[in-house]
Structure 1
Amino acid sequence: MTDAHAADPQLRRVLVADDEPHIGHIIRLKLEQGPYTVVLVSDGEEALEQLRGDEPIDVVLLDIMMPRATGLEVLEQLRAMPHRSDTPVIILTAKGQDADRRQALELGATDFFTKPFSPKKLLARVDELFGAPAPDGA
């Protein structure tokens, strides 16, 4: 398997951790329309394995409710990793209560999207993280 990031250094690498396969598939389809390559994992421990490695990861999209480690646990550990501490993290969750949002932001999340969310708005937000202006209506 060839690494698209190595083949095209212009591609941004996005780690998507979500235990709902259809959500991960939708996110992958939308992001790969832009300058992104997606690494998709289905639980928190798989996300941590990816984050502990040396492969570039430019942004992380995390579900809160996942098996083996929650998104908030992953976020907390990610922020403690010297090589990942500044990596942007967007939380994607069905848990939309203010307390969940507050906790995620306190742990260092960059943004918080409640499911169901607009894949177009998510792509626009990821683009924004890398300096691309948000399109009108996104």
Structure 2
Amino acid sequence: MGDGRIVAIADVLELIDLAAGRLRKESGGALWDEATHTPAELPPEKTEPTVLIVDDSITVRELLSMTFNKAGYRVEQARDGQEAWEKLRSGLPCDIVFCDIEMPRMDGLELLSRMQKDPILTDLPIAMLTSRGADRHRQMAVQLGARGYFTKPYLEEALLEAANRMLKGEVLVITKAEAS
């Protein structure tokens, strides 16, 4: 506090994830009592997929969050590629990423490139959601490993259907060169 008092801060969402088994505690943590975790305990089944929405526009993030929440997804947000990268590298449990291309600090293509080079994140499906409809942007995203490419404005139903298909392993982008 401003007067020098110490105040405990808890990340309530992380505590809920820990309790629900969606997040594993790091081994060797001094704050957790190993004796309370018995090998017979199985974490509950994960019922809702988690989507990470990466966009510098708060409006877009909130609209996408409402769309995915209504469809039963757990939603995380990042303001730009740098924040998304930090969250993913710190162990954020995530099943799919929807990412803008043009953002400050780290753009979506740089985030995509970093994720493809990371052995832990390379299989995480990422879809670009951008106002850039030119084929060259689409080709760059595909070459960097994007599994989906959507332009704004978007249809909620189409985006949700695409997310479900990508979660099942489908790649939904093709370039004009591949189509011919």
Task: Give the CA deviation at 1:12.
Answer: 0.9
Which residue of 97, 113, 136 maps to 1:76? 113
Query: Which of the pair has the greater relative contact order for Cα pairs under 8 Å at 6+ separation?
Result: 1
| Structure whose residues are more often strand by fraction | 1
> What TM-score do the two structures reach when normalised by structure 2?
0.69
| Contiguous gaps of at least 5 residues in structure 1 | 132-138
> What TM-score do the two structures reach when normalised by structure 1?
0.88
Separation in 2, partners of 1:24, 1:11:
19
Query: Which amino acid in structure 2 is aligned with residue 11 of structure 1?
Result: E
Q: Does 1:113 align with 2:124?
A: no
Query: Which amino acid in structure 1 is aligned with residue 104 of structure 2?
Result: P
Separation in 1, partners of 2:91, 2:62:
25
| Contiguous gaps of at least 5 residues in structure 2 | 1-11, 21-44, 169-180
Query: What is the aligned length?
Result: 131
Query: Alignment RMSD, CA only?
Result: 1.5
Report which stretch shifted further, 116-125 or 88-97.
Answer: 116-125
Is the Cα contact below 8 Å between 2:95 and 2:167 reproduced in 1?
Answer: no
Separation in 2, partners of 1:55, 1:83:
12
Aligned to 2:128: 91
Separation in 1, partners of 2:118, 2:111:
11
Task: Give the CA deviation at 1:63.
Answer: 0.2
Aligned to 1:34: 71
Separation in 2, partners of 1:50, 1:118:
27
Three-state SS of the structure 1 residue aligned to 2:13 is coil
Q: Which structure has the larger Rg over C-alpha atoms?
A: 2
Three-state SS of the structure 1 residue aligned to 2:70 is coil
Separation in 1, partners of 2:70, 2:110:
30
Query: Which amino acid in structure 1 is aligned with residue 157 of structure 2?
Result: K
What is the identity percentage for the equivalent residue pairs of Structure 1 and Structure 2?
34
Separation in 1, partners of 2:141, 2:133:
11
Task: Give the CA deviation at 1:121.
Answer: 1.1
